[in-house]
Amino acid sequence: MRITGGDLLLLSHAAFGITGCLAALWVFVEALGARPANLHRIRTASLVAAIAIGAAWICGGYWYLHFYPAEKALILGGPWPLAHNLFMETKEHLFLATAMLAFLLPIVARERLDSNSPARKLVLSVAALVVVTGLAIEGAGAVIDHGVKVALLRSAAKESR
């Protein structure tokens, strides 16, 4: 088995993305029962979410610029061109919104969530938005991957005839 730098970057991108979503989910659950004792955990988890999504941006961005063009050509020549035209186009731009939300999370988590109901609702909303958009982006990644797979399968089937 040979793992290339491109493979590592792509897997790191997905792993950091999921870590960011899980950390945001952690913030959401802790914020539901915010009290003085768990404010530190909420702030730590929000920082983890921001750092993980930032790392997903760097890994995914480098991979997108240097390794994706070859996959894009495969997808567009295969039976699932919408994997790029719809899913990648939406994913690459929606990701930027998710990144801003993740960077916002540690800022809003600095509020006294145990005694400030509007601030708690805001943190719950931001954390939920990171989770929902993050999971949608992860799903889009799976569709893009499938777009490459079906293109390669069709190409292999043609060659075997």
**Identity of the residue, 94 or 150, whose beta carbon is nearer to another protein in the bound complex:** 94
Choice from 6, 125, 143, 145 touching another protein (CB under 8 A) = 125
- Cα 103 off chain centre by: 13
Query: What CA–CA distance (Å, rounded) separates 138 from 55?
Result: 15
Residue 57 sits in the site that holds another protein (CB under 8 A): yes
* Total residues binding another protein (CB under 8 A): 36
All residues at 6 or more sequence positions from 25 whose CB lies less than 8 Å from its CB, including other chains: 127, 131
Q: Of 12-20, 92-100, 141-149, 152-160, which segment contacts another protein by CB under 8 A?
A: 92-100
Residue 90 sits in the site that holds another protein (CB under 8 A): yes
Q: Cα angle at 95 between 32 and 41, to 5 degrees?
A: 30
SS3 per-residue string spanning 29-68: HHHHCCCHHHHHHHHHHHHHHHHHHHHHHHHHHHHHHHCH
Residue 114 sits in the site that holds another protein (CB under 8 A): yes
**Minimum distance of another protein from residue 152's CB (angstroms):** 24
**Is 26:134 a contact under the CB 8 Å cutoff?**
no
Q: Which residues bind another protein (CB under 8 A)?
A: 57, 61, 64-65, 85-86, 89-90, 92-94, 96-97, 99-101, 103-104, 107-108, 110-112, 114-119, 121-122, 125-126, 129, 133, 136
